Amino acid sequence: MKRVAGFTLLEVLVAVAVFAIVGMGAYGGLQAVMAQRVIARENADRFRELQFAVQQLTRDLAQLNPRPVREPLGDGYRSAIYSDPRAEVLLEFTRGGWTNPLGQPRAAVQRVAYELEEDRLLRRHWFVPDQTLGEDPVERELLTGVRDVRLRFYGPGGWLEQWPSQAGGDPANRPLAVEVVLELEDWGEIRRLVEVPQ
């Protein structure tokens, strides 16, 4: 009688156990790679969001225009750039360089305001610089997860916490530079110094 060669039950069980251990290790490694991929994607998205917000703020300040604007009631003028740490608006200013390729009936300058609402940095702009009370701005969320925004202005007298530095001065005066410090929940402090065109 010829004996048939094959695997014993014990050998099959050992092979299945080894395969299961290798499979579990491979699955754990795959899970770790997938988790790292998600984290890398989230970090890249956050970096893009931060980069866009800082670039938008830098572009706006680099186009700072010396044009003051009328108060909404028409009874005076607001400075070309205005910032007060005690005010609701962080920064408000007139920006030039607003291209109009379609030739729409609008000004070539734009009034822009930055505000911090809860943990969101918002950019608002108006289609006309001398807005009225009934005119709503166009609002865009630039950045989330913002704890605080601090501004400093470099003028002839050195660094100042608000602008204009004194009441009753020339409303067209602009600082020489603006320092913006963004304090983020996840990345700490981001500091940007922007030279203002004169």
Nearby residues of 198 by Cβ (< 8 Å), 6 or more positions away: 174, 176
pLDDT of residue 4: 65
pLDDT class of 190 with cuts at 50, 70, 90: very high
Q: Residue 141's pLDDT is what?
A: 95
- pTM to 2 decimals? 0.77
Query: Distances in Å between the alpha carbon of 165 and those of 25, 68, 129, 147, 154?
Result: 65, 15, 22, 26, 10
Q: What is the pLDDT of residue 6?
A: 72
Q: Does pLDDT of 3 surpass 70?
A: no
**Domains of the chain and CATH, by start:** 60-195 (3.10.610.10)
SS3 17: helix
- Residue 180: how many CB atoms within 10 A of its CB? 20
What integer pLDDT is reported at residue 2 of this predicted model?
A: 65
The per-residue pLDDT for range 72-128, each reduced to its tens digit, is: 777 778 888 988 878 888 999 998 877 777 777 677 788 999 999 999 999 999 878
Bridge partners of residue 183, in order along the sequence? 148, 189
Per-residue pLDDT band at 181 (split at 50, 70, 90): very high
Residue at 196: amino acid letter: V
The H or E element spanning position 124 is strand 120-126
Q: Is the bond leading into 164 cis (omega within 30 degrees of zero)?
A: yes
